[in-house]
Amino acid sequence: MTYARDERVALCALLDLTGPREPTLCEGWATLDLAAHLVLRERRPDAGVGMLGGPLAAYTRSVQRKLIERNPYPRLVQMIRSGPPRLSLFGLPGIDERANVVEFFVHHEDVRRAQPGWEPRKIDQGLSDVLWGRLGMARFILRKAPVGVELVRDGEPEPGAPGGHRVRITARARTPVVTVTGTPSELTMWVFGRTGAARVRLDGGEADVRALSAARWGL
């Protein structure tokens, strides 16, 4: 098993449990819409580009609607669970782990954290390290943030200390700077726009923190 596969299996188990009409943290999407999105991403490369918006976004939405119309919810979940088809880009050796750890982690949490009374789950050290390693993409995601952004890994030894390693990522290099502190899992949720459901701490000037808190971003 890999972390991507672990998150895929856990998400599918949760989708089975919740059913198709439960809310998610993806604005406007119920669990049915999220399932169709994941099927489209791995099985319809012709429609994948439109997931980032732009002129093909309407086509992508159309393909997603048709997936919902033509496939009952349990079948969509099973298609996710079975993994990408062999001829998919995501079916190439090693691609699933590289491309899907964050995708499935975030969407797993999108379903979990949309439920009342949720609490952060215990994340093992290996997955935390993988998520931290992937947070380099924050430089692209936060490129239009209104202030500078430093991500700080919570509870880690300082560089140079026994067992220490890099604990900061400069996600947006400008001044003034707001420091966002949290565990790799919480920072991942925050960077990917789930700011209201991410347990992080923002430190900086009052106006700067307010500006960053009000900003919206995406891929």
Domain boundaries, the chain: 3-112, 127-214
Domain 127-214 is found in CATH 3.90.1200: no
Mean pLDDT score, 188-193: 98
Judge whether residue 49 has pLDDT over 90.
no
Judge whether residue 210 has pLDDT over 70.
yes
Distances (CA, A) of 201 to 53, 85, 92, 99, 179: 30, 41, 38, 28, 8
Judge whether residue 163 has pLDDT over 60.
no
Angle CA 80–81–87, to nearest 5: 60
24-41 pLDDT, tens digit each: 999 999 999 999 999 999
**pLDDT reported for residue 215:** 96
Other CB atoms within a 10 A radius of the CB of residue 56 amount to 16
pTM of the model: 0.91
Mean pLDDT score, 198-210: 98
Measure CA of the first residue to CA of the last residue in the chain; give whole Å: 28
Phi-psi domain of 56 (left: phi exceeds 0; alpha: psi -120 through 50; beta: other): alpha
**Residue of 37, 150, 38 lying closest to 83 (CA atoms):** 38
Mean pLDDT score, 85-106: 87
62-92 pLDDT, tens digit each: 999 999 999 999 999 999 999 988 878 888 8
